[in-house]
Structure 1
Amino acid sequence: MPKGKLSKRQSAIYEYICSYTEEHGYPPSVREIGKAVQLASPSTVHMHLKVLEELGLISRDPKKPRTMKIVPRSSDGSRSSVKLASISQDINANVITLPVIGNVAAGTPILAEQNVEDTLSLPTSIVGDASTFILRVHGESMINAGIFNGDYIIVKEQQDAHDGQIVVALIDDSATVKTFYREKNCIRLQPENDTMEPIYSDNPRILGIVTALIRSLS
């Protein structure tokens, strides 16, 4: 590793990514990296990761948003290139690292850097499609559908939906989770909560459809 080109913090980040990946079989999240090297800002972690990528120490597959892999060192490196190559292949085949979306700015792509607050690594058997992101649920508008405040939902990125599908839509610069219905002259975004009223919109921006849910039991 060209340590001379890295700051002390960047070297620490790279070593943490390597050791974490060897132990778990998939890379750490941005939040885990920040905690390990005492960086509170995800954007600062992203900046250091970009340096590691430019130096060829890690790579990201553009077809799989936020997927991170270790680039094996040469044979004179301190780590086994064969072992790391095997780990990288396993990650690529079985695990994908998905972006966790925070606040979505109007007019920006859903996966724009400023929208991503963290990443989570999940098996491809659960995720299925690389054009996928994760959103943390805020509020109780979908409790009758079994989606609660604080849950993480897995969302397949697409711009249209069929009646009855649960979607993530952008309304007034805020992402909302609702059930999608086409009315005669508009779209109805129906909350799954008997105390809440539907949202009617002529042309809501559909960010994707919900395909799965993650909930912490702690």
Structure 2
Amino acid sequence: MHLTDTQRRLLDYLRGHIARHGYPPSQMEIARAFGFRQNRSARYHLDALRDAGLVELADGRARGIRLTTAGAAAASVADGVLPAGPGDPDGLLQVPLFGRVAAGTPIGSDPEVRREVQLDPTLFRLRPDYLLEVEGESMLLDGILPGDLIGVHRTPQARNGQTVVARVEGELTVKRLDHGPGHLRLLPRNPAHAPIEIGPTVADFAIEGLFAGLVRPS
């Protein structure tokens, strides 16, 4: 059985969606989750799963997708999508991957869902609400590398010293929070990068969430 990485991720997405909601996604929802521009791209990959004996498709029904026994048992480790542990086929988190976050100079946020991935909850110290792909090297000493997918636990509050995802003038960055009497800074963990000072001239600043852990795609 040969599947592309996209088809393996789609199979895991189908299994996670059914486990979470009790019903399969529509082709439109699949296209949105995977960033396909057209629904027929979703249908192309669904047809490949059907031909492999992993799903059954009922034409004319918006949610006419059913996993076969083989499809329900299949697991993928491609592109950071992790299988459930033995005896725990439904114990995964379904987490959307939104876009990029800077470990360096803040970069523009990308709120579009690129895809959804299934992750082992034991990888995270907090429950992640979404993932962001790291760009830049300012957090190297904390082991956060370019290309890592970091989990973000959505909250507007953080304690001094915690690693946060913050919005600065409409752009996102991941840094350590340094908050004390009379000062607020975002600290890098790489001496080649300077802190970001949050002073009175910064009109738009917010804590978007706490760093919850990371996945490093192979």
Give the Cα–Cα distance (whole angstroms) in 2 for the partners of residues 46 and 205 of structure 1: 36
| 1:20 matches 2:11 | yes
| Aligned equivalent of 1:213 | 214
The one-letter amino acid paired with 1:115 is E
| 1:145 matches 2:158 | no
Secondary structure of residue in 1 paired with 2:147: coil
Give the Cα–Cα distance (whole angstroms) in 1 for the partners of residues 31 and 179 of structure 2: 48
Residues 143 and 193 in structure 1, CA contact (< 8 A), matched pair in contact too = yes
| Aligned equivalent of 2:115 | 118
Structure with the greater relative contact order (CA < 8 A, sep ≥ 6): 1 or 2?
2
Shift of 1:21: 4.6
Pairing of 1:1-218 with structure 2 (within 5 A): 20-21=11-12, 26=16, 42=35, 44=37, 55-57=62-64, 79=68, 93-102=90-99, 114-127=111-124, 132-202=129-199, 204-217=205-218
Residues 31 and 38 in structure 2, CA contact (< 8 A), matched pair in contact too = no
Secondary structure of residue in 1 paired with 2:161: coil
C-alpha change, 1:141 and 1:45, in structure 2 (3 Å) is farther
- CA offsets, 1:138-197, max 9 Å, x none? 101111111111111111111111111110001122210100121323421001111211
- Equivalenced residue count is 157
Structure 1 residue ranges without an equivalent (≥5): 1-15, 28-33, 59-69, 73-78, 85-89, 105-112
C-alpha change, 1:48 and 1:158, in structure 2 (3 Å) is farther
Residues 169 and 205 in structure 2, CA contact (< 8 A), matched pair in contact too = no
The normalised TM-score by structure 1 is 0.55
The one-letter amino acid paired with 2:160 is D
C-alpha change, 1:38 and 1:126, in structure 2 (3 Å) is closer
Secondary structure of residue in 2 paired with 1:147: coil
Give the Cα–Cα distance (whole angstroms) in 2 for the partners of residues 154 and 148 of structure 1: 13
The one-letter amino acid paired with 1:178 is K
Give the Cα–Cα distance (whole angstroms) in 1 for the partners of residues 123 and 209 of structure 2: 17
Shift of 1:118: 2.0
Please tell me the root mean square deviation across aligned C-alpha atoms, in Å: 4.4
Secondary structure of residue in 1 paired with 2:37: helix
The one-letter amino acid paired with 1:44 is R
The normalised TM-score by structure 2 is 0.55
**Which of structure 1's runs of 4+ aligned residues deviate more than 4 A?**
24-27, 45-49, 127-131
Q: Which has the higher helix share?
A: 1
The one-letter amino acid paired with 1:20 is L
- CA offsets, 1:39-92, max 9 Å, x none? 9x705368998xx9x93457xxxxxxxxxxx6x8xxxxxx57xx96xxxxx66x
C-alpha change, 1:201 and 1:171, in structure 2 (3 Å) is same
